[in-house]
Amino acid sequence: MKPTILYLFLLTTIIGCNQNNHKASEQLNDFPYLESDIRKLSSGYASGEYTITDVTQAYLNRIERIDRKGPTLRSIIEVNPDALAIANELDAELAAGKRRGPLHGIPIVLKDNIDTHDKMATTAGSRALMDSKPLQDSEVTAKLRAAGAIILAKANLSEWANFRGQNSSSGWSGINGQTKNPYVLTRNPCGSSAGSGAAVSANLTVLAIGTETNGSIVCPSNANGIVGIKPTVGLISRSGIIPISFTQDTAGPMARTLTDAVLTLGVLTGVDKKDSKTLASKEHALTDYSPFLKLDGVQGKRIALYTAPLGENTEVDSLVRKSVRTLKSLGAEVIEIDAIAPRETGRNSFQVMLHEYKDGLNAYFTSLGENAPIKNLDELIAFNEQDSIELKYYNQAYLKMANDKEGLESEAYQTALKNLIRMSQQEGIDRVMDEYNLDAIIAPTGSPAWSTDWLNGDNYHLGSSSPAAWSGYPNITIPMGDIHGLPVGLSFFGRAWSEPTLIEVAYGFEQNTKARITPTFRANDEE
């Protein structure tokens, strides 16, 4: 071939491949409920346009098509075999004039560290708990069932909520393997709620419930282009959730819109005598946060941009500066701060987590009763040592470190806990917000998703989850744009129990940017 002819041949081939890839992604997103939200589905149920059973079946079919076949996201560990039967019952209730609330008939996925007392196991992603059946629902699960939500499936997660060992890959578990990012399949879904984030983004469910100790709701929300709410610790009960840290753990909603996340948040709140942290929420918790979804919610707010995460990625920085201009145009005053908590805060948090991990895991294993497959942390460590898959890619250093710790009465734990609370709260977020008279703090949630690497582990570039995680204070992340088709989020965090204010600011930003993009399951970066 002559050079010109060769060039034209190659160009035609490339164009043809791109067109085929585009058609393939269009086919994968040929779904009648693509990007549907709670209010749209509820309206359809009320008008008779479709039934809960039809919608549930459609999502089950999509899980089979996208998660088990096709792109094989591996975001779902197990589908609820009773999902359609539950949908039928909820349809019958609607026909009889009974509607339980905004979540009636809404499919939802639970991270698989959240107990369900049904035909599904609760595994934390670990082969050690492959057949573990809790003796009762978690409080979160019970509230969702009472509200009429359909527990569609259990989501894959970073095993043991990403606190098992060093150099782990987010979204990998011994039970289900590696969850993929639905935007580019070779890239990582981030955080331990990886399956929850990927499933919501890929339209395998309307909603998901994730959990966070530090970053595990906001990071997968960032990488998967969705909204995540990490509430104040104590706003939502943790009873029946496999723990890491009594001080920092919380569950929270993950959705494609802030409205859906907020409607779900109100369903989950309330005092639970089985979780003493929730006692503090009695004066603060609401059952409906939707009044704070205000288009003018940014107006008059004083906001600080936390600049420490900047400087790592120029394109992220550019999106942040654009977001600041948007907030200013909506009536906010924005200042800059470069520090929040003392540098030593993280070390105290780590020690608190290790002590509380040992205590919490042993208590959880006891809650499973006499037929528990694992009775204590010693047995878990021994199981992993003998298993052919569990330690194939990374170790269990954090389990061993936790197991070596003294009890919660030890001086080492009590000192670390006092230091953590003082540094993260009084000397951290509370101090900054008082000093600068702030309503909220913003920062980039993270970078575009990195490439998955089982041998070297995660490759974090930047993040801002720690100040809110260490203090146990709320954090909301909203998509703010994308970099080469990979989404990036903006975080809004602040004082304890400041969810109403954060929702106002985050909603005003979301509605004026609408940066959420639907994933197309690109095989690699070149597509």
- Catalytic residue numbers read 111, 192, 216
The single residue listed with the structure tokens 């709410």 is 229
Q: Write the pLDDT tens digit of every residue in 145-167.
A: 999 999 999 999 999 999 999 99
Q: Tokens standing for 61?
A: 């079919």
CA angle 365, 367, 368 (to 5 degrees): 70
Q: Tokens standing for 263?
A: 């409607």
Residue numbers in the chain where pLDDT is lower than 50:
1-3, 6-8, 10-11, 13-14, 17-18
345 three-state secondary structure: helix
How many CB atoms are located within 10 Å of the residue 287 CB? 11
Calculate the CA 501 to chain-centre distance.
Answer: 21
Reported pTM: 0.95
Q: How far apart are CA 345 and CA 350, in angstroms?
A: 9
Question: Are 362 and 332 in contact, with CB atoms under 8 Å apart?
Answer: no
pLDDT at residue 14, as a whole number: 46
Task: Tell me the one-letter amino acid at 391.
Answer: L
Q: How far apart are CA 155 and CA 162, in angstroms?
A: 14
Q: Tokens standing for 43?
A: 């309206």
pLDDT at residue 527, as a whole number: 85
Q: φ, ψ for residue 293 (rounded to 5)?
A: -80, 80
Cα 134 to Cα 93, 140, 153, 221: the distances in Å are: 28, 14, 16, 28
Q: How far apart are CA 170 and CA 215, in angstroms?
A: 11
In sequence order, the β-bridge partners of residue 336 are: 305
Q: Which of 10, 25, 74, 50 is nearest to 517 (CA)?
A: 25
Buried b / exposed e over 259-275, threshold 16 CB at 10 Å, is: bbbbbbbbbbbbebeeb
CA angle 443, 168, 307 (to 5 degrees): 15
The torsion defined by the Cα of 278, 280, 286 and 291, in degrees rounded to 10, comes to -130
Q: Which of 477, 481, 527 is nearest to 505 (CA)?
A: 477
Q: Which of 253, 249, 179 is nearest to 215 (CA)?
A: 249
Question: Are 493 and 325 in contact, with CB atoms under 8 Å apart?
Answer: no
Q: Tokens standing for 117?
A: 């007392």
Task: Enumerate the H helices of 29-82 as residue ranges.
Answer: 38-47, 52-62
Concatenating the DSSP letter of every residue in 156-175 gives --SHHHH-SSTT--TTEETT
**Distance linking the first and last C-alpha atoms of the chain:** 27
How many CB atoms are located within 10 Å of the residue 149 CB? 28
Cα 107 to Cα 33, 321, 336: the distances in Å are: 12, 36, 41
Task: Tell me the one-letter amino acid at 235.
Answer: L
Q: φ, ψ for residue 168 (rounded to 5)?
A: -80, 160
In sequence order, the β-bridge partners of residue 153 are: 79, 109
Task: Assess if CATH 3.90.1300.10 describes domain 38-346+412-513.
Answer: yes
